[in-house]
Structure 1
Protein backbone atom coordinates (compact mmCIF):
# COMPACT_ATOMS: atom_id res chain seq x y z
CA UNK A 1 0.00 0.00 0.00
CA UNK A 2 1.25 3.52 -0.77
CA UNK A 3 1.75 6.20 1.86
CA UNK A 4 -1.25 8.40 2.54
CA UNK A 5 0.85 10.99 4.34
CA UNK A 6 4.47 11.76 5.22
CA UNK A 7 6.16 13.47 8.13
CA UNK A 8 9.50 13.80 9.87
CA UNK A 9 13.04 14.40 8.69
CA UNK A 10 15.96 12.31 9.93
CA UNK A 11 19.14 10.41 9.06
CA UNK A 12 20.85 13.31 7.26
CA UNK A 13 24.02 12.11 5.50
CA UNK A 14 26.48 13.72 3.08
CA UNK A 15 29.18 12.27 0.82
CA UNK A 16 31.67 14.67 -0.73
CA UNK A 17 32.23 14.33 -4.48
CA UNK A 18 35.55 13.14 -5.87
CA UNK A 19 36.83 13.02 -9.46
CA UNK A 20 35.53 9.47 -9.90
CA UNK A 21 32.55 9.28 -7.53
CA UNK A 22 31.94 10.02 -3.87
CA UNK A 23 33.67 9.62 -0.53
CA UNK A 24 32.08 7.42 2.16
CA UNK A 25 28.91 9.06 3.49
CA UNK A 26 29.04 10.69 6.91
CA UNK A 27 26.11 11.24 9.26
CA UNK A 28 25.15 14.78 10.28
CA UNK A 29 23.24 14.44 13.57
CA UNK A 30 20.20 16.34 14.80
CA UNK A 31 18.68 17.42 11.47
CA UNK A 32 15.51 19.42 12.07
CA UNK A 33 14.06 20.29 8.67
CA UNK A 34 14.64 20.45 4.94
CA UNK A 35 13.00 22.77 2.42
CA UNK A 36 13.58 22.29 -1.31
CA UNK A 37 11.87 24.60 -3.81
CA UNK A 38 11.87 23.61 -7.50
CA UNK A 39 14.09 25.51 -9.94
CA UNK A 40 13.16 25.57 -13.62
CA UNK A 41 10.31 26.75 -15.76
CA UNK A 42 7.25 25.67 -17.65
CA UNK A 43 6.47 27.11 -21.08
CA UNK A 44 3.27 26.58 -23.06
CA UNK A 45 3.53 25.93 -26.80
CA UNK A 46 0.62 27.10 -28.97
CA UNK A 47 -0.48 26.22 -32.48
CA UNK A 48 -3.76 26.30 -34.39
CA UNK A 49 -5.19 28.68 -31.80
CA UNK A 50 -4.75 26.25 -28.90
CA UNK A 51 -2.20 24.93 -26.46
CA UNK A 52 -0.51 21.92 -28.07
CA UNK A 53 2.32 21.18 -25.62
CA UNK A 54 4.02 22.14 -22.37
CA UNK A 55 7.82 22.32 -22.17
CA UNK A 56 9.26 21.89 -18.69
CA UNK A 57 12.81 22.35 -17.43
CA UNK A 58 14.09 20.79 -14.23
CA UNK A 59 17.08 22.72 -12.85
CA UNK A 60 16.96 21.04 -9.45
CA UNK A 61 16.13 22.87 -6.23
CA UNK A 62 17.13 25.68 -3.93
CA UNK A 63 16.29 25.66 -0.28
CA UNK A 64 17.68 25.15 3.19
CA UNK A 65 18.56 22.48 5.70
CA UNK A 66 18.25 23.13 9.42
CA UNK A 67 19.92 21.35 12.34
CA UNK A 68 20.62 22.00 16.00
CA UNK A 69 24.32 22.46 15.14
CA UNK A 70 26.27 21.49 12.03
CA UNK A 71 29.70 20.02 12.90
CA UNK A 72 32.59 22.45 12.35
CA UNK A 73 34.59 19.80 10.48
CA UNK A 74 31.72 19.37 8.00
CA UNK A 75 31.39 23.14 7.47
CA UNK A 76 35.14 23.45 6.88
CA UNK A 77 35.10 20.63 4.33
CA UNK A 78 31.98 21.97 2.59
CA UNK A 79 33.25 25.56 2.41
CA UNK A 80 36.97 25.06 1.79
CA UNK A 81 37.92 26.33 5.24
CA UNK A 82 40.39 24.61 7.57
CA UNK A 83 41.46 23.87 11.14
CA UNK A 84 44.82 25.48 11.88
CA UNK A 85 47.84 24.04 13.69
CA UNK A 86 46.67 25.60 16.98
CA UNK A 87 43.19 24.02 16.78
CA UNK A 88 41.21 27.05 15.57
CA UNK A 89 38.70 26.83 12.71
CA UNK A 90 39.54 29.35 10.00
CA UNK A 91 36.97 30.81 7.58
CA UNK A 92 38.90 31.46 4.37
CA UNK A 93 37.52 34.28 2.20
CA UNK A 94 38.48 32.50 -1.02
CA UNK A 95 37.75 28.95 0.13
CA UNK A 96 36.66 26.53 -2.59
CA UNK A 97 33.29 24.96 -1.67
CA UNK A 98 32.95 21.24 -2.39
CA UNK A 99 30.09 19.50 -4.14
CA UNK A 100 28.45 16.64 -2.26
CA UNK A 101 25.58 14.18 -2.35
CA UNK A 102 22.98 14.41 0.42
CA UNK A 103 20.73 11.67 1.80
CA UNK A 104 17.86 11.76 4.27
CA UNK A 105 14.78 9.85 5.42
CA UNK A 106 11.16 10.99 5.42
CA UNK A 107 8.71 8.91 7.44
CA UNK A 108 5.41 7.75 6.01
CA UNK A 109 2.37 6.06 7.46
CA UNK A 110 3.14 2.81 5.57
CA UNK A 111 6.77 3.02 4.41
CA UNK A 112 9.73 5.27 5.18
CA UNK A 113 11.42 6.87 2.17
CA UNK A 114 15.17 7.42 1.78
CA UNK A 115 16.45 9.90 -0.82
CA UNK A 116 19.83 10.77 -2.37
CA UNK A 117 20.33 14.20 -4.02
CA UNK A 118 23.45 13.90 -6.19
CA UNK A 119 24.96 17.37 -6.70
CA UNK A 120 24.59 19.77 -3.78
CA UNK A 121 26.43 22.89 -2.64
CA UNK A 122 26.02 25.11 0.41
CA UNK A 123 26.13 28.86 0.79
CA UNK A 124 28.06 30.23 3.75
CA UNK A 125 25.99 29.79 6.91
CA UNK A 126 24.22 32.65 8.62
CA UNK A 127 25.36 33.23 12.18
CA UNK A 128 22.90 34.12 14.94
CA UNK A 129 23.08 34.06 18.71
CA UNK A 130 20.53 35.21 21.26
CA UNK A 131 20.95 36.11 24.91
CA UNK A 132 19.24 34.05 27.60
CA UNK A 133 16.03 35.56 29.00
CA UNK A 134 13.22 34.04 31.09
CA UNK A 135 13.11 30.96 28.87
CA UNK A 136 16.06 29.31 27.19
CA UNK A 137 15.37 29.03 23.46
CA UNK A 138 18.13 27.05 21.69
CA UNK A 139 19.55 28.60 18.52
CA UNK A 140 19.71 26.40 15.42
CA UNK A 141 21.85 26.42 12.28
CA UNK A 142 20.34 26.94 8.83
CA UNK A 143 22.33 26.36 5.65
CA UNK A 144 21.13 27.53 2.24
CA UNK A 145 21.38 24.70 -0.24
CA UNK A 146 21.44 24.30 -4.02
CA UNK A 147 20.72 20.94 -5.66
CA UNK A 148 21.43 20.73 -9.40
CA UNK A 149 21.12 17.90 -11.96
CA UNK A 150 24.18 15.66 -12.31
CA UNK A 151 24.99 13.83 -15.54
CA UNK A 152 25.51 10.06 -15.23
CA UNK A 153 27.13 8.82 -18.48
CA UNK A 154 26.40 5.13 -17.83
CA UNK A 155 22.65 5.80 -18.04
CA UNK A 156 22.95 8.91 -20.29
CA UNK A 157 20.69 11.02 -18.06
CA UNK A 158 20.89 14.12 -15.90
CA UNK A 159 19.55 13.13 -12.48
CA UNK A 160 18.58 15.35 -9.55
CA UNK A 161 17.65 12.69 -6.98
CA UNK A 162 16.49 9.12 -6.46
CA UNK A 163 14.62 7.44 -3.62
CA UNK A 164 13.38 4.10 -2.44
CA UNK A 165 11.06 2.77 0.24
CA UNK A 166 11.45 0.45 3.20
CA UNK A 167 11.66 -3.11 1.90
CA UNK A 168 13.14 -2.13 -1.49
CA UNK A 169 16.37 -3.78 -2.65
CA UNK A 170 18.79 -0.96 -1.74
CA UNK A 171 17.03 0.39 1.36
CA UNK A 172 19.01 -1.43 4.07
CA UNK A 173 22.45 -0.29 2.80
CA UNK A 174 21.30 3.13 1.61
CA UNK A 175 23.81 5.15 3.67
CA UNK A 176 26.88 2.90 3.31
CA UNK A 177 27.71 4.38 -0.11
CA UNK A 178 25.94 6.81 -2.41
CA UNK A 179 23.23 4.75 -4.10
CA UNK A 180 23.54 5.64 -7.78
CA UNK A 181 20.70 5.59 -10.31
CA UNK A 182 20.48 2.58 -12.61
CA UNK A 183 19.07 2.26 -16.12
CA UNK A 184 15.34 2.25 -16.59
CA UNK A 185 13.44 -1.00 -16.24
CA UNK A 186 12.25 -2.00 -19.72
CA UNK A 187 8.50 -1.91 -20.04
CA UNK A 188 6.60 -4.80 -21.58
CA UNK A 189 4.08 -3.64 -24.18
CA UNK A 190 0.49 -4.57 -23.44
CA UNK A 191 -1.50 -6.44 -26.04
Structure 2
Protein backbone atom coordinates (compact mmCIF):
# COMPACT_ATOMS: atom_id res chain seq x y z
CA UNK A 1 0.00 0.00 0.00
CA UNK A 2 1.38 3.40 -1.01
CA UNK A 3 1.63 6.54 1.07
CA UNK A 4 -1.57 8.43 1.82
CA UNK A 5 -1.78 11.72 -0.03
CA UNK A 6 -4.24 14.59 0.18
CA UNK A 7 -5.44 17.06 -2.44
CA UNK A 8 -5.05 20.78 -1.88
CA UNK A 9 -7.61 21.85 0.75
CA UNK A 10 -10.57 24.00 -0.24
CA UNK A 11 -12.71 26.16 2.03
CA UNK A 12 -16.34 25.51 2.84
CA UNK A 13 -17.48 28.83 4.38
CA UNK A 14 -20.45 29.28 6.68
CA UNK A 15 -19.81 26.81 9.50
CA UNK A 16 -22.46 27.14 12.18
CA UNK A 17 -21.46 24.31 14.53
CA UNK A 18 -19.40 21.16 14.70
CA UNK A 19 -19.74 18.45 17.32
CA UNK A 20 -17.52 15.38 16.98
CA UNK A 21 -17.86 12.79 19.73
CA UNK A 22 -15.05 10.36 20.47
CA UNK A 23 -15.89 6.78 19.49
CA UNK A 24 -14.46 3.75 21.29
CA UNK A 25 -14.94 1.49 24.28
CA UNK A 26 -13.47 0.69 27.64
CA UNK A 27 -13.03 -3.07 28.02
CA UNK A 28 -12.38 -4.34 31.55
CA UNK A 29 -10.40 -7.50 32.27
CA UNK A 30 -11.10 -9.22 35.58
CA UNK A 31 -8.63 -11.29 37.56
CA UNK A 32 -8.37 -12.17 41.25
CA UNK A 33 -12.00 -11.09 41.63
CA UNK A 34 -11.30 -7.43 40.71
CA UNK A 35 -11.06 -5.20 37.69
CA UNK A 36 -7.43 -6.02 36.96
CA UNK A 37 -6.91 -4.05 33.75
CA UNK A 38 -8.99 -1.82 31.49
CA UNK A 39 -8.17 -1.34 27.82
CA UNK A 40 -9.40 1.58 25.78
CA UNK A 41 -10.06 1.56 22.03
CA UNK A 42 -9.95 4.56 19.73
CA UNK A 43 -12.50 4.25 16.94
CA UNK A 44 -12.18 7.85 15.81
CA UNK A 45 -14.91 10.48 16.04
CA UNK A 46 -18.44 10.93 14.76
CA UNK A 47 -20.85 13.82 14.85
CA UNK A 48 -22.69 16.57 13.07
CA UNK A 49 -21.39 19.52 11.09
CA UNK A 50 -23.90 22.29 10.46
CA UNK A 51 -23.13 24.83 7.73
CA UNK A 52 -25.07 27.65 6.12
CA UNK A 53 -25.07 25.71 2.85
CA UNK A 54 -23.10 22.77 1.48
CA UNK A 55 -21.26 24.21 -1.52
CA UNK A 56 -21.36 22.78 -5.03
CA UNK A 57 -17.59 22.22 -4.74
CA UNK A 58 -18.11 19.95 -1.69
CA UNK A 59 -20.97 18.18 -3.47
CA UNK A 60 -18.75 17.50 -6.49
CA UNK A 61 -15.41 16.70 -4.81
CA UNK A 62 -16.69 14.80 -1.76
CA UNK A 63 -20.26 13.64 -2.37
CA UNK A 64 -19.50 12.75 -6.03
CA UNK A 65 -22.40 14.70 -7.47
CA UNK A 66 -21.89 15.96 -11.02
CA UNK A 67 -22.96 18.81 -13.27
CA UNK A 68 -24.33 17.99 -16.72
CA UNK A 69 -23.98 20.07 -19.91
CA UNK A 70 -27.03 22.16 -18.88
CA UNK A 71 -25.32 23.16 -15.62
CA UNK A 72 -27.69 21.04 -13.53
CA UNK A 73 -26.22 19.20 -10.55
CA UNK A 74 -27.17 15.55 -10.24
CA UNK A 75 -26.85 13.02 -7.46
CA UNK A 76 -26.22 9.58 -8.86
CA UNK A 77 -27.59 6.67 -6.82
CA UNK A 78 -24.45 4.55 -7.21
CA UNK A 79 -21.89 7.34 -6.64
CA UNK A 80 -19.34 6.70 -3.89
CA UNK A 81 -18.66 9.39 -1.30
CA UNK A 82 -14.95 10.21 -1.18
CA UNK A 83 -12.88 10.28 1.99
CA UNK A 84 -11.33 13.60 2.95
CA UNK A 85 -9.49 15.47 5.69
CA UNK A 86 -11.46 18.09 7.63
CA UNK A 87 -9.55 21.13 8.85
CA UNK A 88 -11.00 23.82 11.09
CA UNK A 89 -10.19 26.29 13.85
CA UNK A 90 -11.82 26.68 17.25
CA UNK A 91 -11.74 30.24 18.52
CA UNK A 92 -11.80 30.99 22.20
CA UNK A 93 -8.26 31.38 23.41
CA UNK A 94 -5.47 33.81 22.53
CA UNK A 95 -4.62 31.81 19.41
CA UNK A 96 -7.37 29.59 18.02
CA UNK A 97 -6.67 25.86 18.13
CA UNK A 98 -6.44 24.40 14.62
CA UNK A 99 -7.28 20.82 13.70
CA UNK A 100 -7.05 18.29 10.89
CA UNK A 101 -9.24 15.20 11.18
CA UNK A 102 -8.01 12.49 8.82
CA UNK A 103 -9.97 9.88 6.86
CA UNK A 104 -13.38 11.56 7.10
CA UNK A 105 -16.57 10.39 5.47
CA UNK A 106 -19.72 12.48 5.13
CA UNK A 107 -23.39 11.73 4.78
CA UNK A 108 -25.46 13.67 2.28
CA UNK A 109 -27.39 16.62 3.74
CA UNK A 110 -31.14 16.39 3.90
CA UNK A 111 -33.21 18.61 1.64
CA UNK A 112 -35.66 20.80 3.52
CA UNK A 113 -37.45 24.10 3.31
CA UNK A 114 -40.34 25.83 5.01
CA UNK A 115 -42.79 28.56 4.23
CA UNK A 116 -41.90 32.19 4.86
CA UNK A 117 -43.57 33.59 7.96
CA UNK A 118 -43.31 36.96 9.73
CA UNK A 119 -39.56 36.59 10.07
CA UNK A 120 -37.18 34.79 7.76
CA UNK A 121 -35.30 32.00 9.47
CA UNK A 122 -32.42 30.72 7.38
CA UNK A 123 -32.23 26.99 6.84
CA UNK A 124 -28.89 25.25 7.16
CA UNK A 125 -27.37 22.00 5.93
CA UNK A 126 -26.20 19.36 8.38
CA UNK A 127 -24.06 16.35 7.54
CA UNK A 128 -22.79 13.60 9.80
CA UNK A 129 -19.02 13.25 9.73
CA UNK A 130 -17.10 10.12 10.70
CA UNK A 131 -13.33 10.44 11.20
CA UNK A 132 -11.15 7.38 11.50
CA UNK A 133 -7.45 6.58 11.66
CA UNK A 134 -5.07 6.53 8.72
CA UNK A 135 -1.36 5.81 8.46
CA UNK A 136 0.42 9.16 8.03
CA UNK A 137 3.98 10.41 8.12
CA UNK A 138 7.31 8.67 7.92
CA UNK A 139 6.71 6.74 11.15
CA UNK A 140 3.51 5.23 9.64
CA UNK A 141 1.63 5.70 12.90
CA UNK A 142 -2.16 5.54 12.75
CA UNK A 143 -3.44 9.08 13.30
CA UNK A 144 -7.05 10.18 13.73
CA UNK A 145 -6.42 13.90 14.13
CA UNK A 146 -3.78 16.57 14.50
CA UNK A 147 -4.14 19.79 16.51
CA UNK A 148 -1.99 22.78 17.19
CA UNK A 149 -0.74 23.62 20.66
CA UNK A 150 0.35 26.85 22.31
CA UNK A 151 3.92 25.90 21.36
CA UNK A 152 3.24 25.22 17.65
CA UNK A 153 5.67 27.37 15.65
CA UNK A 154 4.14 30.46 14.04
CA UNK A 155 5.46 29.41 10.63
CA UNK A 156 3.50 26.12 10.77
CA UNK A 157 0.45 27.68 12.42
CA UNK A 158 0.18 30.40 9.76
CA UNK A 159 0.27 27.82 6.92
CA UNK A 160 -1.90 25.21 8.69
CA UNK A 161 -4.71 25.23 6.12
CA UNK A 162 -2.54 25.40 2.99
CA UNK A 163 -2.13 21.62 3.05
CA UNK A 164 -3.19 18.74 5.28
CA UNK A 165 -0.73 18.36 8.14
CA UNK A 166 1.47 15.27 7.94
CA UNK A 167 3.45 14.44 11.11
CA UNK A 168 7.03 15.72 11.17
CA UNK A 169 6.73 17.29 7.71
CA UNK A 170 8.95 20.21 6.79
CA UNK A 171 7.18 23.54 6.80
CA UNK A 172 7.31 25.01 3.29
TM-score (ref. length: structure 2) = 0.89
1:84 matched to 2:68? The reply is yes
Number of residue pairs the alignment of both structures matches: 166
Which residue of 79, 83, 104 maps to 1:120?
A: 104
Check conservation: 1:39, 1:61, Cα contact below 8 A.
Answer: yes
For residues 18-97 of structure 1, the aligned pairs below 5 Å read: 20-97=4-81
CA distance in 2, matches of 1:73, 1:83: 11
State the match for 1:154 in structure 2.
138
Check conservation: 1:103, 1:115, Cα contact below 8 A.
Answer: yes
CA distance in 2, matches of 1:153, 1:51: 37
State the match for 1:138 in structure 2.
122
Deviation at 1:68, TM superposition (A): 0.6
Deviation at 1:144, TM superposition (A): 1.1
1:165 matched to 2:140? The reply is no
Which structure 1 residue ranges, 4+ long, deviate > 6 Å from structure 2? none
State the match for 1:179 in structure 2.
165
SS in 2 for 1:76: helix
CA distance in 1, matches of 2:150, 2:71: 42
Please give the root-mean-square deviation of Cα atoms over the aligned residues, in Å. Answer: 1.9
Check conservation: 1:151, 1:159, Cα contact below 8 A.
Answer: yes
Where structure 1 has 5 or more consecutive residues not aligned to the other structure, the ranges are 1-18, 184-191
TM-aligned CA distance change 1:21 to 1:145, over 3 Å: same
Structure with greater strand percent: 1
TM-aligned CA distance change 1:167 to 1:124, over 3 Å: same
CA distance in 2, matches of 1:100, 1:158: 16
TM-score (ref. length: structure 1) = 0.81
